Amino acid sequence: KAGVTQTPRYLIKTRGQQVTLSCSPISGHRSVSWYQQTPGQGLQFLFEYFSETQRNKGNFPGRFSGRQFSNSRSEMNVSTLELGDSALYLCASSFGTYTGELFFGEGSRLTVL
Amino acid sequence: KNEVEQSPQNLTAQEGEFITINCSYSVGISALHWLQQHPGGGIVSLFMLSSGKKKHGRLIATINIQEKHSSLHITASHPRDSAVYICAVRVGTGTASKLTFGTGTRLQVTL
């Protein structure tokens, strides 16, 4: 069974640009959540989707957005990139919501110059 | 004060030693996760707990809901256990719930 796939794995952008990251969950999983990891702040929750609906959102500015498609694949978008957005962005999938075991992807490492 | 506190922050052990990593939280939770992150970034879920104790191979996780505390034990540690171990708690219920993470415990196991 294929794991959680995140693309791209690495990317470099400049300030002011926007970026879209993709996450394909494990087949049959309907919940996808996104996290940002930085050396200074550690892991922080971004958002969580279930059956194409955003269930919850962390404390991030509106420049961070996401969506989930009918096949459970999810994308997150960051607009008007800032240097502080440089981070490892991780997604995780689970079969159910809220209390399901999480399966993480390898992450997308974003560098903003 | 962080909602989730882990101790110790760093831990060095010799192969074969018994290791304990602690996690304390200050709010009501619906579940607690123990995660393992190796250099390079990939995260693996080790346990998800809402009560009691779970065991998987050399790993044991316990949780005491009344004391708001969980422990991760590694028996007969091995160099391949070297990683960062992260405690995460699900705070709130239903659509108001979200995961909050500890800062991690960096474990190095030497020969």
Tell me the DSSP string of chain A: ----EEE-SEEEE-TT--EEEEEEPPTT--EEEEEEEETTTEEEEEEEEETTEEEEE-S--TTEEEEE-TTS-EEEEE-S--GGG-EEEEEEEESSSSSSPPEE---EEEEE-
Average pLDDT (A13-23) is 98
Higher pLDDT, B28 or B46: B46
The reply to whether residue A102 touches residue B48, judged by beta carbons under 8 angstroms, is: yes
What pLDDT band is residue A95 in, cutting at 50, 70 and 90? Answer: confident
Two tokens, residue B1:
């004060």
Mean pLDDT of A22-49: 94
Q: How large is the average pLDDT for residues A69-76?
A: 96
By Cβ distance, the residue of A99, A104, A106 closest to B30 is A99
pLDDT of residue A99: 66
Give the chain A residue whose CA is nearest to the CA of B36.
A104
User: Is it the case that residue A2 has pLDDT exceeding 80?
Assistant: no
Is residue A1 pLDDT above 80, yes or no? Answer: no
Cβ of A98 within 8 Å of Cβ of B86? The answer is no
pLDDT of residue B55: 97
Whole-angstrom distance, CA of residue A69 vs CA of residue B10: 41
Across the interface, of A33, A56, A100, the residue whose CB is closest to B95 is: A56
Does pLDDT of B107 surpass 70? yes
- On the question of pLDDT at A112 being above 80, the answer is yes
What is the sign of the dihedral through the CA atoms of B44, B49, B54 and B58?
positive
